[in-house]
Structure 1
């Protein structure tokens, strides 16, 4: 178990650090709302991971992975959501549009911003059926014969989730540290347009990619 556990941490660490839709979304929200928005987006992503972990334990994720129709429906919904977020970012960063960065100085706005950021991160992950495949294909490879499957799977899934939480906390603080520089209109709009293009491209890639 110790050697396999270290190997599992290495693999999941690489998966966590690999740029993808979540990272583009967290960066985009961090630019607009600072470290708080980035952190709550990351928490939404982690909640989505936890949801798939629970679904995997209940056997629901296996149904999703085994059903081509269900997998395709969730995949296309996720792709459409990414394209929507990307198109919205491009629209908000259109030429001549100078939108002040969201602030967390006012309590009511902060609550709304955090909720929106969390919801976007959550939906981004829940509408990504490939996360279900991680729990169904990756984690079982690190469960040795003779080990209690449920307990070992719970430890591995919990470690995966803890690593994701640690990463998004670190990433959100890094984005917040760059907040003053990114708050400049030109820089903010440039990054907004870049992340918008990335989100649209990732959405199209998800839509036209098989399992």
Structure 2
């Protein structure tokens, strides 16, 4: 079991470090809402992962994998959601010079609602069927012979969530060193726009990929 756990941990770290929608939506939360926005978005991402891990341990993700209609429907919904939040970020490009000047005076700033960051993180995960398929095909592969697939999958899933939480915490802590720079109106506007373009790209790829 120890060898399986270490092997799984190494593979999980590599997967988590690969840039994807989760990382980008957390960065977007940091840009738009500062540390609080990053924490809220990270919490949403982690809750979404919990749902998928529970589904994988119960075998529900396998049903999704077997259902082409269900998989495609969720994939399209997830792609559309990523495109939508990407477009919301891109709206910063349409803001006028007077808006930017007002921000410079401290009278305006884009913020996330109390639940906006959380829901962005949660829906980004829960509407991505590839995460469910990843768990149903990835986690059981590390279960040693003689161990319960369901319970061991749940345990490995908990490890994956814990590693993801550490990664998100690292992003939030690291943001503190550049917080002032990130909150400069012009820089914040450009970062928001870049995040929007990449989110739209992720959304299109998710919705159209076979």
Aligned CA distance change for structure 1 residues 101 and 9 (closer, same or farther; 3 Å): farther
SS at match of 2:113: helix
Q: Deviations over 1:21-40 (max 9, x none)?
A: 11111111111111111111
Q: Which residue of 1 aligns with 2:165?
A: 165
Matched, 1:101 2:95: no
CA distance in 1, matches of 2:136, 2:45: 19
CA distance in 2, matches of 1:176, 1:63: 42
Of stretches 68-77 and 14-23 in structure 1, the one that deviates more from structure 2 is: 14-23
CA distance in 2, matches of 1:205, 1:93: 23
Q: Which residue of 2 aligns with 1:107?
A: none
By how many angstroms is 1:114 displaced?
3.6
CA distance in 2, matches of 1:61, 1:51: 10
Q: Deviations over 1:102-151 (max 9, x none)?
A: 56xxxxxxxx7341100110000000001111221001110111122233
Aligned positions of 1:48-197 closer than 5 A: 48-96=48-96, 97-98=99-100, 100-102=108-110, 113-197=113-197
Please report the TM-score for the alignment, with normalisation by the length of structure 2: 0.91
Aligned CA distance change for structure 1 residues 114 and 7 (closer, same or farther; 3 Å): farther
| Structure 2 unpaired stretches of 5+ | none
Contact 2:57 2:151 in 1 (8 A): no
Contact 1:36 1:114 in 2 (8 A): no
Q: Which residue of 2 aligns with 1:106?
A: none
Q: Which residue of 2 aligns with 1:13?
A: 13
CA distance in 2, matches of 1:201, 1:151: 36
**Considering only aligned residues, what root-mean-square deviation do their CA atoms show, in Å?**
1.5
SS at match of 1:113: coil
Q: Deviations over 1:32-79 (max 9, x none)?
A: 111111111011011001001111222221111110100000000000
Q: Which residue of 2 aligns with 1:199?
A: 199
Please report the TM-score for the alignment, with normalisation by the length of structure 1: 0.90
Of stretches 24-33 and 121-130 in structure 1, the one that deviates more from structure 2 is: 24-33
| Structure 1 unpaired stretches of 5+ | 104-111
Contact 2:57 2:149 in 1 (8 A): no
Aligned residues: 202
Contact 1:29 1:117 in 2 (8 A): yes
CA distance in 2, matches of 1:7, 1:205: 30
Q: Deviations over 1:147-181 (max 9, x none)?
A: 22233212211101111111111111212332111
